[in-house]
Amino acid sequence: MCRHLGYLGPAVSLAELLLEPDHSLLEQAWAPDDMRGGGTVNADGFGVGWYRPDGSTASYRAAVPMWVDGSFRQVAADVRSGAVVAAVRSATVGMPVVPGACAPFTDDTWLFSHNGRVTGWPDSLAKLAARVEVVDLLTLDASTDSALLWALLRQRLVEGAEPDQAVQELVGEVVATAPDSRLNLLLSDGTRLIATTWTHSLWVRRTETAVAVASEPFGADTGWMEVPDRCLLVADTENVQVSSLSEGER
Ligand code: GLN
């Protein structure tokens, strides 16, 4: 199952963040440590989204393994940002392998990633999907569970929901209609990282100036904390809060 990563802190190059560290996202594409629920490598594409200094988003997505994309390597050395969401993809069986299926899904404000799968998709989400504006359904980036989850979440955000609330409610609604789904979600607005654990791994590391969350630790080998299963994490460069998705705060 895919590996994803979010970073907030001093501006770094995409290469320093994603390609160069020990057990980088690049390495997690071909040699992940903790795949659960099927899949052995994350070779069905990758994506990187980042915030520009003016707060708008940009992204690079490709339906090839991260390690074969020499053009990305060139760009990654030069692009710098202090807020990044990136993912390498192992497509769920039956879902298309196209750039638009690779996280992060984005608009001008948000970057979103999903590590997991929705059971019984698409039928299981048909009722929930009826809430999404038809034009947004017709212009989904790809016909995948993750793209539909993004449309569902974005609708709530556009309607003004608090992002942590919106993420939490989405997990609750999807699990109610599609039990046994795997729902590690990751959302950023460039100042916060909001993430869930629902059957996949997630780690967090905060230093004096930066915070990173990742499916698997990379870079420094100290300071990483594993986020327990079925939790909501809300982090910025000052604070990391982890609360249970079913009970009170931890
Ligand atoms: N189900 C999603 C997809 O196919 C995410 C896959 C994953 O986490 N491995 O894109």
Query: What digits encode the pLDDT tens for the residues 225-242?
Result: 999 999 999 999 999 999
Quote the CA–CA distance of 201 and 216 in Å, as a whole number. 7
* pLDDT for 221: 85
Quote the CA–CA distance of 23 and 17 in Å, as a whole number. 11
Q: How far is the CA of 89 from the centre of ligand 1 (A)?
A: 6
Active site residues: 2
Q: How confident is the model at residue 1 (pLDDT cuts 50, 70, 90)?
A: low
* pLDDT for 138: 95
Q: Which CATH number characterizes residue 13's domain?
A: 3.60.20.10
User: Average of pLDDT values for 125-137?
Assistant: 95
For the chain, give percent helix, strand, coil, nearest 5.
25, 30, 45
User: Average of pLDDT values for 184-207?
Assistant: 97
Nearest C-alpha to atom 9 of ligand 1 is from which residue? 1
Q: Is residue 138 part of a domain?
A: yes
Beta strands across the sheet bearing 3-13: 57-62, 46-51, 80-88, 3-13, 211-214, 203-206, 225-226
Q: Is residue 60 part of a domain?
A: yes
Tell me how many domains the chain contains.
1
Quote the CA–CA distance of 111 and 42 in Å, as a whole number. 20
Pocket test residue of 95, 185, 200, 216 for ligand 1, highest count of atoms within 8 A of CB: 95
Q: Is residue 186 part of a domain?
A: yes
Nearest C-alpha to atom 10 of ligand 1 is from which residue? 91
Q: How far is the CA of 150 from the centre of ligand 1 (A)?
A: 13
User: Average of pLDDT values for 3-10?
Assistant: 98
Q: How far is the CA of 114 from the centre of ligand 1 (A)?
A: 7
Give the structural domain span for 89: 3-244
Atom of ligand 1 nearest to the CA of 103: 10
Cα 126 to Cα 144, 145, 175: the distances in Å are: 13, 11, 14
Q: How confident is the model at residue 17 (pLDDT cuts 50, 70, 90)?
A: very high
Q: Is residue 249 part of a domain?
A: no
